[in-house]
Structure 1
Amino acid sequence: MFSPHGPTIRELTVQALSSVERGYDLLAPKFDHTPFRTPDAVLDAVQGELKGMGPFAHGLDLCCGTGAGTEVLRTVCRESVTGVDFSAGMLAVARARVRSDGPPHVAWVRGDARALPFGPVFDLAVSFGAFGHFLPRELPGLFTEVHSVMRPGGRFVFPVGAPPSPESPWYWALLGFDAAMRVRNALWRPPFVMYYRTFRFGDVRRELTRAGFTVEHRALTAFGHRPDGSPCCRLIVATRT
C-alpha cells in the first residue's frame, strides 16, 4: 500500500489528528507515495475520454493536490490550466512537479472549493479523489460554486467508483475507516473530514441537476463491470446549459 518513500505510521497519526488543511500540509512531500493519490490508470482513462470531448480552452483542477489532474488538463486545454487547493503544502509540491512552460499557461491558486475566487471563465473542470472531504450537506453549495465558474456549455467531469459489495473485503475496510473517522471527529478537535462512503452516485446526480447542470455518465470500461452488469467506474459529465 505504501512505498518506502511514503509517510511513517507516526507521520500519518500526526496528520490524522490535525485539521484537514494542516494534515495535507504535513503529508504533501510524501503524498505521491501513498495510496491516497489517484491511480494513473484512472487518470489515463479520464484523459482518454476528455480528448474525445475537446479540445478545451481553459481548465480548472478543483482540489488539485499535488497536480496529477492538472497534468491531465495540460493535454486537453489549449490556453490555460488553473489548479486550486486550500493546502499551501500541496500547492508547493504541485508547482515543483508540474511543467509550467506553455501553452497552456499553468497557474496555482490557494483557495476553498466552497468559495471559488473566479468568474465564469472555465470550459472544463475536473476533480480527482477529493469529494470525501465534503460532507453530504455541503454538496449543494460546492456544485453551485463550480457551476458559477463555468462558461455556458462548460463541463464538470470526474470519475465515481461503484461501491463495493458486502462480499468484498473493501466494503468492510471502507466501512471501518469511516466508522473510525466518525469516532475520531466526535472525540477530537479540529475535525478531519474524510469519508469514503458518503459520495453516492444518486445523490451526486441529483445535486448536480439542482445546481443547474445537465448530467450524463459514461462507463469507464477499462475497469470492467460488476456481476449485475453495471460499470465498476463511471465518468460523470455535468454540463452548464
Structure 2
Amino acid sequence: MKIGVYGAGNMGSAIIEGLIRSKEVQPSDLFIKGGKSQTAENLQRKLGFTLVEQEERLAETTLILIAVHPDGVLPILDQLPEKITKEKIPIVSVAAGVDLPDMTAILGEDYPIAHCIPNTPVRVNEGVLGISYNPLITPEAKQVIDRTLAQLGTMIEIDESLLEVVSAVAGSAPAFVDIFIEALADSAVLHGVNRQLAYQIVEQMIKGTAALALQSGQHPAVLKDAVTSPGGTTIKGVAALEKNGLRYAVIEAVNETLK
C-alpha cells in the first residue's frame, strides 16, 4: 500500500519514521511532499522514501496524511489535484484546530476523511492516536486508515469534541513526563549516580510501570498502594509529592494546554 504524506516536520517525520519502523510499510511506498525548508530532503537522505515535487504523484497512493501546521491544512485541501479528489483517496489530517466540518466543507460531506491527533511516540510505534471520522466514511476507507495508523500505536476512536482533550493528555503530556524523568534523574545525580545511568534507571522504571498498569488492568492507586508500606520510605516520598501539589500541578498543566 502506498501512502502519501504532506509535511515532514516534527509530527510528519515521527509518522514517517514510525511507519517505516513498523516493517509493514517500505520506504519506497511512502510519497512525501515537503515544504519550503530542507527537512523533507534531509529526512529522505536518511530513510530513502520517495520525495515528490508534483502533488499529482500523490494520486498514486491509497491514503494521504496531512501533517502540516493547522493554517496549512485547508489551503492544501482546497488545491488538491482532481486526480485525488475524483478517486476519493482517504485523507487524514493530524493538525489540531481544523475540524471535520471545516474539511468536509471543501471536499464534500461524503469524502472519506478523518481527524487524528497523535503524539510523538508514534516514532517508535508506541503512540496514542485519538481519531474521529467523517460520519459518512465508508467501511472500506475506514479500514484503510485503521490498518495504516494502527502500525503507529494505540488508536482511540472518540467524538471530535474530545480530541483536544486527547491532544492535551496524550499529545502534550509527553513533555510533562520528560520533565518528570529529568527531575527524577536529577535527584539520582544529586545523590551520586552518574547522569547516563540515572536516565537509564528512570526511563526503564517508567516503561516498566506503564507496562504493569496496562497489562494488569489494575487501578493506579492499587499499584501505588502495593509499594507503599506503612511508615516506609515510599509513602514518605508520596507525602512529599502531595505536600508540594503534584496532582494539582499536573491538572493545571492540562488545563493551561486546553486554553
Structure 2 length-normalised TM: 0.37
Tell which has more relative contact order, 1 or 2 (C-alpha 8 A, sep 6+).
1
More strand by share: 1
Structure 1 length-normalised TM: 0.39
The structure with more radius of gyration: 2
